[in-house]
Amino acid sequence: MLLIADILGILTYGMIAAMLGTILPELSKKFGLSPKQNGNIGMMQAIGLMIGGFFAGPLMDLQGKKLGMLLSLTLIGIALIGLKSAKGYGSISGMMLLLGTGGGALVTSAFAVAGDINVPWLQGAAVFNAVNLFFGLGGLITPLIAAHLFKNNASRLLVFAASIALIALAVNGFTEMAPASGKVAFQAESVSTLIGSPVLLLLSLSLFLYVACECGVWNWLARHLIAQGVPESKALTILSLGFALGLLLGRIAVVPVLASVTPKMVLFGAGIAMAITTYLMLQSSNATTAWVLVFLGGLAMAPVFPTALGLVGGAFKAQGLDATATGIASTCGWLGLVVSSPVIGGIAGDDPKKLKKALLILPIASAVMALVILGL
**pLDDT tens digits, one per residue of 141-194:** 999 898 888 888 889 999 999 999 999 999 999 998 877 766 666 666 676 777
pLDDT of amino acid 188: 65
* More confident of the two residues 61 and 335: 335
* More confident of the two residues 207 and 327: 207
The span from the CA of 7 to the CA of 287, in Å, is 33
The span from the CA of 244 to the CA of 329, in Å, is 23
For 7-60, give the DSSP string: HHHHHHHHHHHTHHHHHHHHHHHHHT--HHHHHHHHHHHHHHHHHHHHHHHHHH
Flag whether pLDDT at 329 surpasses 70.
yes
Indicate the residue type of 294: V
* More confident of the two residues 126 and 302: 302
Flag whether pLDDT at 120 surpasses 70.
no
Residue 171: CB atoms within 10 Å: 18
Phi-psi group of 151: left, alpha or beta (phi > 0 → left; psi -120 to 50 → alpha; rest → beta): left
> Tell me, what DSSP letter sits at residue 244?
I
Residue 277's φ and ψ, nearest 5 degrees, are -70, -40
Residues 207-222 have a mean pLDDT of 93
Domains and CATH numbers, the chain: 1-177 (1.20.1250.20), 191-376 (1.20.1250.20)
Binning the chain into helix, strand and coil, the percentages to the nearest 5 are: 80, 0, 20
Flag whether pLDDT at 97 surpasses 80.
yes
Q: What is the H or E stretch that residue 276 is in?
A: helix 263-281
